[in-house]
Amino acid sequence: MSEVWRAHDRTLDRTVALKILSPTADLQRFRREAQALAALTHENVMRVYDYGEDEGVPFMALEWLPGGTLEDRLPQGPMPPDETHRVAQGIAAGLAHLHARGLVHRDLKPANVLFDEEGRPKLGDFGLARHVAGSGTLTEAGTMLGTAAYISPEQASGQPAGPASDVYSFGVILFRLLTGTLPFVADDALALANMHVREPPPAVETLQPAAPPELAGLAAAALRKDPAERPADGAALLSALGAAPAARAVAETEATQVLPATAEETRLLPAAAAQSEWSRRRKATIAAVALVLLAAGGGVLAWAITRPASTTPNGGLSTSAHRRTHAGTTQATQTATSAPSTTTPTTATRHTTTAATTSPATTTPSTTAPTTTQGTTTTTTTTTTTTTTSSTTTSPTSPGTTAATGAT
């Protein structure tokens, strides 16, 4: 036997159910329950937080479930169909989780179905739970374990229990939810166990004609005497209730598994193949860059062809000429300047060196006559020179300088 206390975990600041083993209780059974719970993680199974001993007294810290037990909730009469279906589905989901991990509860009854604060049913009290695979039987021959009102025929006969044994206990619970009573009633536990072994259960419809047919049929199937004729396990019950078992999560106690190789696995390429792959990617990159540069060059060329030509405001070039004579050297500078535009002004410079002997010249009187051009009055001076002899020598030109030969 054991005692359950409500306690507070000061480290994690939460309420827990503290289960303490009494001095006369079975220590191996207590440890077995802790191990069974530690291997389970499901929303319809009570969780275990810790296990240990304090001053030689074993204890377990369990999930606190404030909603009470199913035994506390059973009314004096049938439970509403929707609520019956919801509770039955939660119990079946918990059993499916146990059975998928090779565990059998062996003591399923309303007192071991508890509710959390959201009304979710959870399986608890795994003191009799055992693994299906093992060196010995789940129930030793001639020994009856479990509560008599919900015990399966094979357990009552002292035979090994399996997942179908939990299915039978589920059938008894469902029968009670639908009808408000048990399928077998007796004052003596042994007489009650014998009824499970030998007597057929009454039909749900005879006690509750308004019971949903699918639930009544599931209760009848689960209460069959032969385990092979019942739904095989919790997953089969869950399927009959219209739900699929949850995908199996990897338990913390399971060994890490190496997954088999697939067709999508990473492969190591030989050196030659890797070099070829690198060369192919390099060529593709160069081709892409060339296409980008070609497109950019085409855009610039199109802009240069289609842009408007630059002109001067006066429709031509403006020319200014400066002449300076000093020590027999004549320098003529002509500057051609385009009207405001983006073209850089171009300057042409002519350097003419004249080494000459000029004889006295006779100059005749000049005549000046006014000339009018496009609205501008220009004075033209005509000078007649009778004798002029000159010799001109052209000096070397520098890059960008235009050399010219002329007579002055």
Catalytic positions, please?
Answer: 107
Q: Which two structure tokens, joined as six digits, stand for 151?
A: 């015990």
b/e burial code for range 297-329 (CB count within 10 A of at least 16 → b): eeeeeeeeeeeeeeeeeeeeeeeeeeeeeeeee
Q: Which two structure tokens, joined as six digits, stand for 143?
A: 């020994």
Strands 346-354 and 392-393: antiparallel
Distances (CA, A) of 169 to 44, 135, 149, 280: 17, 25, 9, 69
Where helices occur in 39-183 by DSSP H, the ranges are: 70-73, 81-100, 153-156, 163-179
Name 381's Cβ contacts closer than 8 Å, sequence gap at least 6: 366, 368
Residue 146 exposed, middle or buried by CB count within 10 Å (0-12, 13-18, 19+): buried
Span between the terminal Cα atoms of the chain, in Å = 139
Residue 274 exposed, middle or buried by CB count within 10 Å (0-12, 13-18, 19+): exposed
Of 120, 123, 121, 155, the C-alpha closest to 138 is 155
Up-side HSE of residue 132: CA atoms within 13 Å toward CB?
A: 13
Phi-psi label, residue 160: left if phi above 0, alpha if psi -120 to 50, beta otherwise: beta
Q: H or E stretch including 233?
A: none
Name the 3-class secondary structure at 104. strand
